[in-house]
Amino acid sequence: MTRGFAPILPGEFHKMGSFRRPRPRFMSSPVLSDLPRFQATRQALQLSSSSAWNSVQTAVINVFKGGGLQSNELYALNENIRQLLKSELGSFITDYFQNQLLAKGLFFVEEKIKLCEGENRIEVLAEVWDHFFTETLPTLQAIFYPVQGQELTIRQISLLGFRDLVLLKVKLGDLLLLAQSKLPSSIVQMLLILQPGGTPGSGPR
């Protein structure tokens, strides 16, 4: 039982900022200003049709559904990502993970929480966070280990995604009010990691 803890309300999570990068602005004609969007769409189509990427995509969704990696599968996935990084699609991998894979995976997480009602929902949220933080997140980091040098790491993108696509959609503030002083330790950990600043080395900064 945790007493005396001042919960972080959903509105305060926004102070952390967003992982969405601003779309570049162009001073040229509308036709030229549409080129980045056209190129991104073309890259998305090429990436989704890549057998190497399809294996990564299947593995990631399976992880979000509670599954694990098969023997030697991690090595094969790392090699597939290295192969993609050497292609013209390499710079698009992080964006596709953020906007497609992560969003789809966290939808399953959100739905699991929403199936429960009342005070039971805070307990389910605690279980979901435990699994996400100790199982899903490390596995995602391992799969995308070859992706380095990005503005945000896979870990930071995933944690921000959990905040924006799960916590803010399940009405965290209402859940905290229901729980009062009976916050599970996992929820306290989650709030500390996802609050502005986070725990050193643990959450987004």
* 136-153 average pLDDT score: 93
What average pLDDT score do residues 121-130 get? 93
Tokens of 82: 């290295």
Model confidence at 25, in pLDDT bands (50, 70, 90)? very low
In the beta sheet, which residues pair with residue 182? 2
- Give the tens place of pLDDT for each residue, 149-194: 888 999 999 999 999 999 989 888 888 887 766 788 999 999 999 9
pLDDT value at residue 116: 84
Residue 8, pLDDT above cutoff 80: no
Q: What is the pTM of this model?
A: 0.75
What per-residue confidence (pLDDT) applies to 26? 36
**pLDDT at 43 (0 to 100):** 61
Q: Could you give the percent of the chain with pLDDT greater than 70?
A: 70
Q: Tell me how far CA of residue 169 lies from CA of 30, 55, 193, in angstroms.
A: 35, 29, 18
Give per-residue pLDDT as tens, 33-71. Answer: 454 554 556 666 566 557 888 999 999 999 999 999 998
DSSP letter string over 90-153?
A: GGGHHHHIIIIIHHHHHHHHHHHHHTS-TTHHHHHHHHHHHHIIIIIHHHHHHHTTT--S-SS-
Q: What is the DSSP letter of 1?
A: -
Topology annotation, domain 51-194: 5 helical Cullin repeat like (1.20.1310)
State whether residue 2 is helix, strand or coil: strand
Using one digit for the tens of pLDDT, what is the confidence trace for 69-116? Answer: 998 999 999 999 999 898 887 888 999 999 999 999 999 999 999 888
pLDDT value for 23: 45
**Mean pLDDT value across the chain:** 79
- Give the burial string for 105-141 (b: 16+ CB within 10 Å, else e): bbeebbebbeeeeeeebbebbbebbbebbeebbebbe
